[in-house]
A and B are shown apart, each in its own frame.
Chain A
Amino acid sequence: MKQIFLNIWKVTQREISRMLIRPLYLFASIGVMGLCTFFFLSIMKRGAPERMPVAVVDKDQTSISRRLCHETNATQSVEIVLITSNYADARLAMQRGEVFGILEIPEGFYADIVSMKRPTLHFYVNNAYTVGANTAYKQLLTMCNLTSGAFQREVLRKKGLPDYLIMERIQPVAISSHLIGNPWGNYGIYLVSTILPGILAIIVLMLTIFAIGFELKMQTSREWLETAGGNFTVALIGKLLPYTLIYIVLGIGCNVILFRFLHFPVAGSSLRMMLAIVLLVFAMESMAITLIGALPTLRDAISIGALYGMLGFSLSGFTYPVMNMLPVFKAWTWLIPLRHYYKIYVNEALMNGPIENTIIPMLSLVAFSLFILLVSRRLHNALIYNNYPLK
């Protein structure tokens, strides 16, 4: 027993020296994770899109149309960057990507509205940029509705109705919306909480494949196995030990930054979020071992790993719901550790739901380690005989 621990320690020592010789390992783990954390937090700092550029085609050019522009511009979410009397100009600005929405005020708007001829406002949005377009759409829709409302208020006032009665006529129904788990509708909280663990997961996958595959490629795998006293399990544990520690520190560090320092909402237990990210690291390591075991050539394993890892983001369902995917991809999502992590995140951080919704994904993450059993023999043989192409 003591011998086993001694061997693990020997392999670990060997690994640490290998790790320090090649800058890749520390750069791709700590460097990339640090950079991504900084990058995503800094670009998402403001959370919700503000002051999205829109254009106004003011064919009316009266005090009313100018007031409409003025009030649109005074809102938080849009900013008028172009006022023109020509629709073609505004459309061209949209095609250049300079504005996300256009509000067109028809000619004679003022004259028509006071003479009750119902002039029509037009607004256009550019769905090729979805976030900007959504923001502009909501605001322009509101402005158009408010225009009719303002007119009604004026007429009713002139009819002598008190203001409190006017409001109820202008807005007989009101919707109050409540955004559960992210009351500000903050994109930063929504995206970063899953993107960063996702990036960590990919780093774990690719680096673990690389660390094992590189032994095969450089034909040092036999020496590695000998250091471990010929024991395959000892060799794996010893090798992955230092990396695993780094990954766990990175993962927990990332969640501590998000949930403790930046106060991203956690409705349930932040402790279970920490556990979840640790399990995510183990699940990705298991998948990495499985891939390099199934394809014991560094080049093949790393290409397939990249493909699998990239799809992980889409298939985790945090942007595009899994509910809407084709059945084959719905099944595929079970093989994506990030999907299970995301389920835990939703249940713990946003919903504080029933505990089984955390336990089942956690068990699924643990179950990924079973895949290693499928390939352990194959990988062991590959380490001994090195009988696969090197390049």
Chain B
Amino acid sequence: MIITRYLHSKWLKVQETWSVFVNELRRIFRDPGVTVIFFLGTLAYPLLYNFIYWKDNVENVPVAVVDMSHSEESRAFLHKWNATPDVTITHYCTSMAEAEQLMRAQKIHAIIYFPTDFATCLNTGMKTAHISLYCDMSSFLYMKAAYLSCNRVMLEDMGRIQIDRYEAMGMDKQFSWILVQAAPYTETALFCESGGYASFLIPAVLMLILHQTLFFGICMLGGTAREENNELFLLPGHRRGYSVLRITLGRSAAYFLIYYALSALVLLGVPRLFGLPHIGDPIAILKFTVPYLLAIIYFSMSVSVFVRNRESGMVTLIASSLIFLFIAGVSWPQQMLPDAWRYLSYFFPYTWGVHGFLHINSMGATLETTAKEYISLWILAGGYFLTTCGLLGIMGYLHDHHRLPEHRHATANIANT
């Protein structure tokens, strides 16, 4: 008898949670604003970003040449440089002034200058020959393309010249060859071989899109509930005496269900569809997504308690996206952040989420390797779950005692009339 009664009471609690869950799903699908953010936002943004950064690497940056040496050596150098994918020589100028004009007008993004004594220096074998490279800094990617390719060509050329010089000194060919490359080296891009912009940025952006759409969707739902002064939405079932714990669980289960499916689609599908790095184990990614989503959901539910309007959160969407991106240490290395900002960043699910995802997806780490991020996300999820319960409990109390700010306004209005 006692056992059945006990089971029955448990069953009622499950039923309560279930009804909150169903109610929340109904709310999401009935709100066109939220469905647009949840579904269109998560699916359209990744596609748009992939199309914007379609070419990944910056190629064929137009450059100008000022060759005062008019020598075979400079021509050979230019020939090799032009053959790299990074640059295309579009202008041959007779003076620096002319090239400068072109750079100022943004027709070219780098200038290479060979002084008159370039070939003489090389051929007399006594002096260092100088090349000057002028880079347009309006985008770092121009500079990277021009600078790195020019350096590579120079290093290659240099080896050949050095061998010639040593041979001229009377060393034998074998010896001078060894001397020049006494310690040869190999360079390997261990992860993201292309080194392109898209393969670095888009995986990070995918995690940000999930974070931001979920965050602002939940804030919009919270704002709507407040706006309609319908406390039943923030605390559905509160009037019927449902506990805050079960309300929080029921609501978050609805978000989790939708976003787990979306995340799987976006995080596994998009890198494969667009040929971005995806060397990670899909199962590990799916496991990692669980605490990430839970942490975002409870983080957002805690914040949404303070949102009083449907749309007001949206105003800060973009500024916050940029701050999240930078404070997480993706665009700008984490090591360079001032300590205060770095500690603050540990409170945001995105910081852990993006690094963990990059480690697994782009760098093939296992879940054990990225345990720090994985565990931190569980801790955040747990912490924010408690704050959500706490804040919702306070909301319920304030509502019951008519102490919410909107109640105050309502009383003031009545007093005025």
Query: Which A residues lie at the B interface, using CB under 8 A?
Result: 24, 28, 32, 35-36, 39-40, 42-46, 49-53, 91-92, 94-97, 100, 102, 109, 113, 116, 118-134, 137, 140-141, 144-145, 147-148, 151-152, 155, 165, 167-182, 185, 187, 190, 195, 199, 202-203, 206-207, 210, 213-214, 217, 298-299, 302-303, 306-307, 309-311, 313-315, 317-321, 323-326, 328-329, 346-347, 350-354, 357, 391
> If A53-B335, A172-B165, A173-B128 touch, does A320 touch B52 (CB 8 Å cutoff)?
yes
- B130 interface hit (Cβ, 8 Å): yes
Most chain A CB within 10 A, of B126, B175, B182, is at: B182
Could you list 8 examples of A-B contacts with CB < 8 Å?
A127-B199, A148-B180, A165-B126, A177-B135, A178-B133, A302-B315, A321-B141, A325-B54
Counting CB contacts under 8 A, is B15 at the interface?
no
Which residues of B are in contact with A by a Cβ distance under 8 Å?
32-33, 36-37, 44-45, 48-49, 51-55, 58-59, 61, 103-106, 121-122, 125-144, 147, 150-151, 154-155, 157-158, 161-162, 165-166, 175, 178-195, 197, 199-201, 203, 224, 277, 309-312, 314-319, 321-323, 326-327, 330-333, 335-338, 341, 355, 358-359, 362-365, 369-370, 372
The 10 closest A-B pairs by CB, nearest first: A127-B192, A353-B104, A151-B182, A144-B185, A182-B137, A95-B365, A128-B362, A121-B185, A346-B138, A130-B200
Inter-subunit contact B319/A128 (CB<8 Å): no
Instruction: Check B355–A97 contact: CB distance below 8 A.
Output: yes
Bound Cα distance from A22 to B105, whole angstroms = 47
Among B158, B195, B199, the residue within 8 A (CB) of A173 is B158
B128 and A36 form a contact (CB under 8 A): no
A319 and B197 contact, Cβ closer than 8 Å, known pairs A131-B333, A172-B128: yes
CB distance from A2 to the nearest CB of B (A): 34
Q: Which residues of B contact A354 (CB under 8 A)?
A: 104-105
Q: Are A175 and B190 in contact (CB under 8 A)?
A: no
CB-defined contacts of A177 to chain B, threshold 8 Å: 132-135, 147
Known pairs A24-B315, A320-B197; A179 contacts B137 (CB<8 A): yes
**Contact A302 to B311, CB < 8 A, known contacts A43-B341, A128-B192, A168-B127:** yes
The reply to whether A210 and B312 contact each other, CB–CB distance below 8 Å, is yes
Chain A nearest CB from B5 CB (Å) reads 45
Chain A interface SS verdict (over half): helix
B335 near A303: Cβ-Cβ < 8 Å: no
Assess whether B106 is in contact with A351, with CB atoms less than 8 Å apart.
Answer: yes
Q: How far is the CA of A53 from the CA of B355 in the complex (A)?
A: 16
Residues of B contacting A181 with CB < 8 Å?
A: 136-138
A176 to B118, CA, bound (A): 13
Contact of A120 among B127, B184, B194, B330 (CB under 8 A): B184
Evaluate whether A180 and B321 lie within 8 angstroms (CB atoms) in the complex, with A122-B185, A326-B54 already known. Answer: no
Q: Are B311 and A210 in contact (CB under 8 A)?
A: yes
Q: Do B103 and A50 touch (CB < 8 A)?
A: no
Q: State whether A49 and B180 are in contact (beta carbons under 8 Å apart), knowing that A96-B372, A173-B128, A326-B51 are contacts in the complex.
A: no
Residue with the highest number of chain A CB atoms closer than 10 Å, among B140, B162, B165, B189 = B140
Residues of B within 8 A of A119 (CB): 183
Question: Which of A51, A206, A329: most chain B CB closer than 10 A?
Answer: A206
